Chain A
Amino acid sequence: SQQGEEDPQALSIQEGENATMNCSYKTSINNLQWYRQNSGRGLVHLILIRSNEREKHSGRLRVTLDTSKKSSSLLITASRAADTASYFCATDQRDDKIIFGKGTRLHILP
C-alpha cells in the first residue's frame, strides 16, 4: 500500500508559470520528502521537510507541511522545460521505511 497520495495526477503548464503539487498522507510521520523521476529512470531527491517544520525552500522549490491536515505541497516557481518529470512525495513509516505515493506527472509546455 502507498502512504502518500499526490494531487493532481497530471499537470500541464506554460514555461515560466508556477507549478503546485499536493500530497496527502494517512499516518503520523517523522519527515516527508519529495523526489523527481525523469521518464522511468531512477528517482532524485529534491527536498526533505521534518514534522516540526512548516516550510522549506531550496532554489526554485518551496515545500510546506501541515501535520494537522496530513498534507504537503511542492511549489516549483518559474518552471522550465527541464522540470518536465514525475514528482513523488515519500513519507517514513513508524519502522523507518520510506513509502512513496503514486506521483504527479508534470509537463512544461514551451
Chain B
Amino acid sequence: ETGVTQSPTHLIKTRGQQVTLRCSSQSGHNTVSWYQQALGQGPQFIFQYYREEENGRGNFPPRFSGLQFPNYSSELNVNALELDDSALYLCASSPVPGRSYEKLFFGSGTQLSVL
C-alpha cells in the first residue's frame, strides 16, 4: 500500500457531463501528478501540481483542469465529457516536484466510463 487514496473507484457518466476525481497524497508528499490510462496503453501525463500551483501539463485540452489544496490533496476535473475520456485515471504523489531521482507513489485509480 502506498498511502495514496483515490475516490471514487468507479464512475459512470454520460457524454457532455462533468466529473471530479479526488486524490489524497501520501503523508509528507507535496507534489501530485495525474495520469490517464486507456485500456491496453501506458499512463499518459495530464498535469502535475506542486504547492497548489500547476507545475507542468501534458497534451490534454483545457477541459481537463485540476486543483491542489493546502493539505496537498488534489482534484481532477473534466468538463464536457467525451467517449474517449473513458479510462483509468491515476494519481501519483512524490515528496518533491518531479525530481528525477524520486519515484512516484500511485493510488489504485478511478475507472471512468463515459456512455
Contacts and interface: CB of A to CB of B under 8 A. Distances in A.
Interface residues of B, number: 29
Contact of B106 (A44, A95, A101): A44
B100 A92 contact: yes
A41 B42 contact: no
Nearest to B43: A100
Contacts of A45: 103-105
Interface in B50-101: 56, 58-59, 88, 90, 92, 97-101
Given A40-B109, A42-B4, A98 B104 contact: yes
Given A42-B4, A96-B56, A96-B98, 8 more contacts: A40-B109, A42-B107, A45-B103, A90-B104, A92-B98, A98-B33, A98-B45, A103-B42
A31 B105 contact: no
Interface of B: 2, 4, 33, 35, 41-45, 48, 56, 58-59, 88, 90, 92, 97-101, 103-109, 111
B35 to A, nearest CB: 7
A42 B33 contact: no
The 10 closest A-B pairs by CB, nearest first: A96-B98, A42-B106, A30-B100, A45-B103, A100-B42, A92-B100, A102-B42, A42-B108, A43-B106, A100-B43
Interface residues of A, number: 28
Contacts of B44: 2, 100
